[in-house]
Amino acid sequence: MKAIVKNIVKKTIGMLLSVKYNLSIKFNSPIKGQYGSLRFISDYSLKQFKKIKKYNDEKNVSVNKMKEKIKFGFVVYTSSMWNVDELYHLLNDNERFDVDIIVVHIDVENKESVNKEYTKTIQYFRNLKYNVIEARNIDNINEYDALFYLTPSPLNEQIINLINLPMSIIVLHTSYSYMLAGNMLKLDVGMYHWSLRFYTDSDYYNGLIRQNEKYTGNARYLGFPKMDQYYVSEKRQLSAKKVIIYAPHHSVNYKNFKSATFEENYQAILKIAKKYSKNTYWIYKPHPLLRGNSVLAGLFKTVEDYDAYENEWQCLDNAEVVNEGDYFSIFKGSDAMITDSVSFLAEYQFTHKPLLLLESGKEKYNEFGEQILSILYRCPGEDIDTIDAFVNDTICEKDEMYSIRKDFFDKNLSYMKDGVTANRKIYDDIKQLLTSEAAV
């Protein structure tokens, strides 16, 4: 009964909002509301949702084309997801745009870890002399004409949370990582449908979202901006030894989608690194949220205990820890990867080097993810013998799946055949949208 009443209330709100916004359309005036209202409208009527969103997009574009200066902000919570550096510089060098990087707190349980990441991210951009703004210091979000979100996740700073954002502000979004997980088939994410542009990570996902009933024509696949950095980054010469990246995922405390196997092998892999110290050099590359989540999962009593484990890696003669910033130069200089991180399964294919996927047995992948699984070395996360054997094969340069991986990459992931980066293509699209006559 409660669910029925709740559904009736939501649809009633959607109907009333539709009436209100249709009056704005009738009188050709800007829609005064928040993006969160679009969820109520889509629950009430998909036809009304698409009509209102189309009008709002066209109105926002026409208003911005007449402005001498467009106030533009990138919204990011960690430097490790910063994949639009070229786009930032292209916009910042264009006199029509005034560009900021807005650093936010992501709304997750482990606040201490998030706060640490927030501070590190601010310092990272300040060291680069970029225009950095802390979201908590923004008094009037209406100063911005367009916001480019690098995460679809809820944010602590309510003023910039998408559901609270005025619909007069243009919203753009790009994927932070390759969407391979099965739960990504649940496409009812506001950012994907309410944004003026959703720059997808792959042709596969671009096609998938177009099949959704809420699709409004906003998806574009122009290449994956995150992988541009791989093409342009310099190879980092790490060691004359075989370089192996160990990249554990953060989902140690998740119930629904848990790819992490960290609790089953984090000590054993450290021992393997010590065992092969004469032949291997290791990069410990944890997900930024692993520090806090491993404490929430009970693997460590405190974040200081986790830091002590991380310090064990840092103190090895044949290892180092990488926690932030561009990691593609490290990818280029590596010889293999051991991971349970979903997005790295696709990203590391750009190196054409072997990858061992540590499986939790609880993962669910979409069709594209399943295709990638077929070209990987795989074993259960607790299978230490197979992990050891993979390291030994890397030392001996044994890689029987190289040709299969290379063929898959050429057919499904390569996008720089024309020599133009995804960042550049996205810039051209934004520039055409907001500074010249172009259809939405």
Confidence of residue 22 (pLDDT cuts 50, 70, 90): very high
Mean pLDDT of the chain: 91
Side chain identity, residue 212: N
- The residue-averaged pLDDT of 107-134 equals 84
CATH fold of 231-412 reads: Rossmann fold (3.40.50)
The conformational region for residue 18 under phi > 0 = left, psi -120 to 50 = alpha, else beta, is: alpha
* Domain 67-224+421-435, CATH number (from 3.40.50.880, 3.40.50.2000, 1.10.10.10, 3.40.50.720): 3.40.50.2000
pTM (2 decimals)? 0.84
Asked whether this chain's domains 67-224+421-435 and 231-412 adopt the same fold, the reply is yes
Whether 303 and 312 have beta carbons less than 8 Å apart is answered as: no
Q: Which distant-in-sequence residues (6+ apart) come within 8 Å of 240 by Cβ?
A: none
What confidence tens digit (pLDDT) does each residue in 163-209 have? 999 999 999 999 888 888 776 545 668 889 999 999 999 988 888 88
Tens digits of residue pLDDT in 388-410: 999 999 999 999 999 999 999 99
Most confident of 116-120, 222-226, 294-298: 222-226
Domain-by-domain residue ranges, the chain?
67-224+421-435, 231-412
